[in-house]
Structure 1
Amino acid sequence: MTKAARIGLGLGLTVLFAFGAWLTWDFVIDDAFITFRYSEHLAEGLGPVWNVGGDAVEGFTNFAWMLWHALWSALGADLVLVAKVTSLVLGAITLVMLLRATEGAGSVVAGLAFVLFLPTYFHANSGLETVAFAAVLLRLVIVAVRVIDEERVFDWEPPLLLLFLGMLRPEGLLAALPAFAVWFWYSRRMPVARWTTVIAAAVGAGYFVWRWFYYGQLLPNTFYVKFGNLEAGAEWVVTTAILLAPLLLLSLALLVVAGLWFKGGLFCLTVVATWLPYALSGPTMDYLHRFAYHVFPVLCLGAGIAVAAIGQRLAATAVGAITVGWVAVAGATAPDLPLIANYGSDLQRAHVAIGRGLAEADVPEDARTLAVSDAGAIPYYSDWQSIDYIGLNDEAIAHGADPTEVVMDARPTVLMVTSYQPGIPDRKYGLNVPVAIAGYEQVGEVRMREEYWQNVYVLPQYAPQVRAALAPKVEEAQRTHDPGRYDLTVDRWLDRLTGR
């Protein structure tokens, strides 16, 4: 491929990437606000805690991501905007890395597969660390590939990338292990490689010991709630394998290509190491294949190298077209796309509006207490002391305590109950709802989308104040964001984009 062709390809892919970012700009996931809450408390000098003054609990799994946003919070920045811009910049860098690490038809396939996979843009705008994790892992794999090709690399870089992956998510250490092992085997005699590895290991160990003593648990609290479902893990593997079948097959094909089998082994082992924790646990909140996406750019790289190795141009074109087409269609037909495509707007008119209303309620500071199942935007925007009765941010519930007893013992001023139909359920996320709301007054029934409501219950002495603050915020949000439309359809998303 000529230099002009590579520049043209890069510009075309950049336009597609920018268009995808625009299409999904209003999306943000509720879980991101959990991390933002910890970041803001840290920026305020109160520590990375869920409730100020309460027991420290690690209700997030992305320590480095939390630190990054704490820095920006200290500067007064909008954390949602920071998260989006950070991920989109890293997504653009990922595209550049893919183009630079491949040649000819391989660059076309790797680049197109990446930019035409619609979930890429939802993950970039979600507020979570998904794209950052994928970008760092890809960079580490590319360094290992360069070492295999006997090209010069910076020997301080892999230990730094390993440390960063482990601090982005705990399972990042496992995902990084194959590429790091390849680099270290080739570079082990280099003094810089040895001492930077020792430094990274010391810093990582120090971080682990600190968080163990600070939070009192070996793993983040969320691991004790979300992980352990082997049956769901097996189903996840099958679904993921079908989704990314051409990318997986092309990476596997490298194992039988002379001169490329070592790279193929690296890609395959990276996929196994990255997906193993999810295969053994059955991840929850896996919207648009979020956890599979961690290694998606690596698979794009493997597919690009495999296509470039096909000697016959017509065959390479056919294989590349099938691969890119499959990935594009699979991403655009994901079963949960209608829900996710409208999620940002729905979150604004329910959870964000409720949180902002509570923040303005004329309730004394010592009475600003809340119990929720959706521990994201509502606690973040209200900044009330919050019980997360799913247990993501509550150690007792995560380790088996009865949510009903925890909530009743705390007797929070506001109790949020999620329901999938008008009215209240008998039990929700382990909470015995009729028992828990006894003595409370309902002041709001806020609809988020089809078959999803947030019911707001308040202690009688504070019900008028909460109702007065909540009602105008909710009414304004319901008028502003897709008024009157709650259908989970791609059409609603497209109508919103076109201003209809």
Structure 2
Amino acid sequence: MLTAPRRATETESRDPDRPPRLAGRAVLLVAALAALAAGIVVCWSVTVDDAYITYRYSANLADGFGPTWNPGGDPVEGFTNFAWMAWHAPWVWLGVPLPVVSKLTAAACAGAIVWILVTEPRSRTGALVAAGSFALFLPTWIHVDSGLETAPFALVVLRAVVLAARLLRDPDARVRPWEIPALLLLAGMLRPDGVLGVTPPLLVWLWVRRRDRATWLWTAVIGAAGAGYMAARWAYYGHPLPNTFYVKVGVEAATDGRWIQMTAATFLPLLAFAVAALFRARTALPAALALASCTALWIIPALSAPAMDYLSRFAWHGFPVLCLAAAWALDTVELRRVAAGAAAVAVAWTTAAGFLAPDARTLVHYGDDLRRAHVAVGLALAEADVPADRRSLAVSDAGAIPYYSGWRSTDYIGLNDERIAHGANPTDVVLADDPTVVVVTSASPELPPGSWRTDIPRVVGDRELVGVAQMRPAYFQLVYADPDVAPRVRAALDRQLARARAETDSTLEPTWSRWTDRLLGRS
């Protein structure tokens, strides 16, 4: 007598025409949000160096110089997340630290993702596999805290897929005629390749609502807005694509399948469930849509070795969509114990894969390591008693050092230098700029012979070594300064390096015990 009603309830919850009973998921929602919050807190110190590139552009925009690298210089687009950069600018006026703005904004977006993953599946088991896999995945915590646009972008793609999936189930479902085109525009403004992930939902929406005049009207209006945005960027920066594109395309190209293998191994159960959903009539079209969006997002990194793909960052863009597709598959499993067991395996696998990722132990220490090296160097330069007209810097890690120093900076990788990105020899560029300080990234305390096509000894010239900041066992920043200001730069650097050592742990090795000791206040 007790079994039949329970089965009936579960069957009703899997009815594709019946909304899920949210009251029964309150505990899961609270648990998933709590796990997410705990993960964000324990990884709070992590802000990646690339995020400070965006912050520098935001600060210059807020200060009235426009979104450019060096105030008063030729505009250069060294970021790939225009909307994210613009979002941070007003907070500069309010005096809120930009890393805090990034983390809180991304945390809110991650919370919205959890809400969708809990409420959208038709069964509690589906909600469990989706929300559990997402909230307990170590890369989720890192990417939320990283300072980049990763979490907001993933939310935009997930929302577009959800809306299009509703239309596939019910062509008369309530979907605002402007929302999916607007999501396409926002995705493209968050990342240049963002339009790829939202294009499949847009095509679904255009087909299902092809007889609705509002569909084509809003598509035209928002398409015109997108064209205007592209034209304005092109006119301001002088190039159709961000500066980083011209530096990175073709660099470290790798089509040996390593990225695909890593992604498949990390998400294996979720991928298997999503593919299985293709063979059930009820979920075939939504699952095909989800996999199409993931494929569109992943095709570029799959065919290259993208820089800064730490903890499968570019795979993570489609991770929430994959979690939802796996939930749809389990929604159709009538045997509750089988579905629950499959969900437990998927959550356990994904959680373990996050902690076992090759760079996981390095990333949980990233914040402390960056504070001990890059941040300390940047703060020291800002503090050094160097005249304003002499505050010029050349650097390869163009993130926290230029941001905290506030000095005019030459990025000799070329990410933020239009001359180098479009073919100029970086050695010639640095020699022409003649910076007061040159910071060299090296695998040892010794000066390397070259870096990023730059003749390092020639660039350093007769400058004096004023300090060495060690980030990791084989990662150093060597600081060289003009002889006449070297004593002042050295004194400031000594103070900041000592302060950084006092504020961070004394261990450089990336071990789990070091992480737990720091969290428990034992280091």
TM-score, reference length from structure 2: 0.93
Cross-structure match for 2:465 = 442
Query: Which residue, out of 24, 48, 51, partners 1:5?
Result: 24
1:183 aligns with 2:205: yes
Task: Tell me the SS of whatever aligns to 1:219.
Answer: coil
Residue-by-residue CA offset, 1:286-344 (whole Å, 9 max, x unaligned): 00110000000000000011011112222212221221111111111111111111110
* Counterpart-to-counterpart distance in 2, 1:234 and 1:17: 31
Q: CA deviation at 1:227?
A: 2.6
Task: Tell me the SS of whatever aligns to 2:476.
Answer: strand
Q: CA deviation at 1:232?
A: 4.9
1:148 aligns with 2:157: no
Question: Match of 1:466, as an amino acid?
Answer: V
Cross-structure match for 1:417 = 440
Equivalent pair of 1:124/1:130 in contact (CA under 8 Å): yes
Query: Which residue, out of 364, 383, 389, partners 1:366?
Result: 389
Question: Match of 1:480, as an amino acid?
Answer: E
Q: CA deviation at 1:396?
A: 2.0
Residue-by-residue CA offset, 1:379-427 (whole Å, 9 max, x unaligned): 0011111011111111222233222221112110000011111222111
Cross-structure match for 2:507 = 485
Question: Match of 1:5, as an amino acid?
Answer: G
Cross-structure match for 1:258 = 281
Any unmatched runs of 5+ in structure 1? none
Equivalent pair of 1:33/1:380 in contact (CA under 8 Å): yes
Q: CA deviation at 1:230?
A: 4.0
Task: Tell me the SS of whatever aligns to 1:447.
Answer: strand
* Counterpart-to-counterpart distance in 2, 1:20 and 1:466: 38
Question: Match of 2:329, as an amino acid?
Answer: A
* Counterpart-to-counterpart distance in 2, 1:96 and 1:33: 30
Write the mapping of 1:31-50 to structure 2, written as runs, cut at 5 A: 31-50=50-69
Cross-structure match for 1:98 = 117
Cross-structure match for 2:330 = 307
Q: CA deviation at 1:353?
A: 1.2
Moved more, 227-236 or 319-328: 227-236
Equivalent pair of 2:287/2:328 in contact (CA under 8 Å): no
Query: Which residue, out of 45, 64, 82, partners 1:63?
Result: 82
Q: CA deviation at 1:457?
A: 0.2
* Counterpart-to-counterpart distance in 2, 1:420 and 1:282: 21
Question: Match of 2:233, as an amino acid?
Answer: R
* Counterpart-to-counterpart distance in 2, 1:453 and 1:172: 34
1:210 aligns with 2:232: yes
* Counterpart-to-counterpart distance in 1, 2:238 and 2:268: 41
* Counterpart-to-counterpart distance in 2, 1:432 and 1:448: 23
Equivalent pair of 1:450/1:488 in contact (CA under 8 Å): no
Residues 233 and 157 of structure 1: CA distance in aligned 2, closer, same or farther (over 3 Å): farther
Cross-structure match for 1:471 = 494
Query: Which residue, out of 122, 125, 132, partners 2:142?
Result: 122
Residue-by-residue CA offset, 1:413-454 (whole Å, 9 max, x unaligned): 000011111222111222222221111011101111211111
Q: CA deviation at 1:41?
A: 0.4
Moved more, 230-239 or 392-401: 230-239
Question: Match of 1:218, as an amino acid?
Answer: P
Cross-structure match for 1:288 = 311
Cross-structure match for 2:481 = 458
Any unmatched runs of 5+ in structure 2? 1-9, 11-20
* Counterpart-to-counterpart distance in 1, 2:374 and 2:256: 30
Cross-structure match for 2:418 = 395
Question: Match of 2:106, as an amino acid?
Answer: S
Moved more, 186-195 or 320-329: 186-195
Equivalent pair of 1:233/1:278 in contact (CA under 8 Å): no
* Counterpart-to-counterpart distance in 1, 2:427 and 2:257: 32
* Counterpart-to-counterpart distance in 1, 2:94 and 2:134: 33
Task: Tell me the SS of whatever aligns to 2:317.
Answer: helix
Residues 173 and 498 of structure 1: CA distance in aligned 2, closer, same or farther (over 3 Å): same
Residue-by-residue CA offset, 1:30-82 (whole Å, 9 max, x unaligned): 00000000001001111000011111111000000000001212322211100
Equivalent pair of 1:233/1:282 in contact (CA under 8 Å): no
Residue-by-residue CA offset, 1:81-112 (whole Å, 9 max, x unaligned): 00000000100010001111112210111110
* Counterpart-to-counterpart distance in 2, 1:295 and 1:80: 24
Equivalent pair of 2:22/2:119 in contact (CA under 8 Å): no
* Counterpart-to-counterpart distance in 2, 1:334 and 1:83: 24
* Counterpart-to-counterpart distance in 2, 1:44 and 1:62: 19
Residue-by-residue CA offset, 1:246-299 (whole Å, 9 max, x unaligned): 111211112111122111210111111111122233211100110000000000
Task: Tell me the SS of whatever aligns to 2:441.
Answer: strand
Task: Tell me the SS of whatever aligns to 2:254.
Answer: helix
In the TM superposition, structure 1's runs of 4+ consecutive aligned residues that sit over 4 Å from their partners are: 1-4
Aligned length: 499
* Counterpart-to-counterpart distance in 1, 2:308 and 2:256: 13
TM-score, reference length from structure 1: 0.97
Identity of aligned residues (%): 48
